[in-house]
Amino acid sequence: MKIERWLKDHTFHHSEFWDLRAMVAEKEKQNLKISLCIPTLNEEKTIGKEIVIFKSELMNRYPLLDEIAVVDSGSEDRTLEVARAFGADTYYSGDILKSQGFKRGKGENLWKAIHQLTGDVIVYVDADIKNIHPRFVYGLVAPLIYRPAIKYVKAFYERPLAVSKTHIRPSGGGRVTEILTRPLFSLFIPELTAIIQPLSGEYAVRREVLEQIPFPIGYGVETAHLLDVHAKFGLEAFGQTDLDQRVHRNQETRSLGKMAFGILQTFLGRAEALGMIDGLPELHKVLNQFQVKDNEHELVGFKITEEERPPMIEIPEYQQRFQRTV
């Protein structure tokens, strides 16, 4: 079975890549440049620790990373100040590609990073990881260094939830994956069920891939990536690395509902564009949820629109900066 073969050949554990000195030597032999992007919005509590660890271990001790950059959506706290103080390059997303305007969202930061950063490989790591470790970078980069045919590497891990400052619930993460994304993949694209954590925010990708795919600016960006890369390059282009465990903030069920609504919009749009379904009706953009107020259930509507940025290679400033043509 293709999925079983792929799982055996394209699934890694970060411990396989313990020899960072050898990894750096191979990277330099291939003349690869590797950039780390940390997208942020109000992450002053965790961003400093991430930068200290990545800079000390993966730039100073082992020069695996060529640049560490924070791309911010407009934090109202000290995120950028802290990031600069610890040695990261910092950018406000609205200052990048001003001709394209600014849209607030994580996907916008990821997209703008393709233009701003210079690496042949870009690694994306979320800013809210409480148990940050260098493996969150080298475990994802290594398959791209050692396996030229692999183009896009996703992280997977156990996901205990931090429910308070002192209490960690041993499981409970990945709820949207198991309730929504995996069932959709099972129905429409069973091969993609091989991706253990399709919505993980940690992944490493070759520039030649990133520049060819559009970017939803909101919740659907990771789902869209998988669908588009699979359509262009097939399952063989993917790899995935077990990073053991990722401790992160707990999200309320209502927030996960908004996430699921955005992902579902993205999935249905992609499914129609790729010919998997035909003749979608006009989709409503308002998610109705209930909140209890004064012992009554009050209906509250949230408008969630999954806007998209075009493939970066279509942007004239990018073509000029990186000597690319469509």
In the chain, what are the domain boundaries?
A: 2-322
- Inter-axis angle of helices 135-146 and 20-29, nearest 10: 50
Query: Rounded CA gap, 274 and 261, in Å?
Result: 20
Backbone angles phi, psi at 148, to 5 degrees: -60, -25
- pLDDT bin (cut points 50, 70, 90) of residue 159 is confident
Query: Rounded CA gap, 39 and 43, in Å?
Result: 10
- pLDDT bin (cut points 50, 70, 90) of residue 144 is very high
204-219 pLDDT tens trace: 999 999 999 999 999 9
DSSP H helices in the chain: 2-10, 20-29, 47-55, 79-85, 106-116, 135-146, 175-176, 182-188, 207-210, 221-233, 253-273, 316-322
Query: Rounded CA gap, 10 and 226, in Å?
Result: 15
277-312 pLDDT tens trace: 998 999 999 999 998 888 889 999 999 988 999 999
Tokens of 322: 């990186």
3-state DSSP helix/strand/coil % of the chain, to nearest 5? 45, 20, 35
Residue 248 has pLDDT above 80, yes or no: no
48-101 pLDDT tens trace: 999 999 999 999 999 999 999 999 999 999 999 999 999 999 999 999 999 999
Percentage of the chain exceeding pLDDT 70: 94
- pLDDT bin (cut points 50, 70, 90) of residue 325 is confident
The pLDDT of 5-24, averaged and rounded, is 98
Domain 2-322 is of which CATH architecture? Alpha-Beta Complex (3.90)
pLDDT of 169: 44
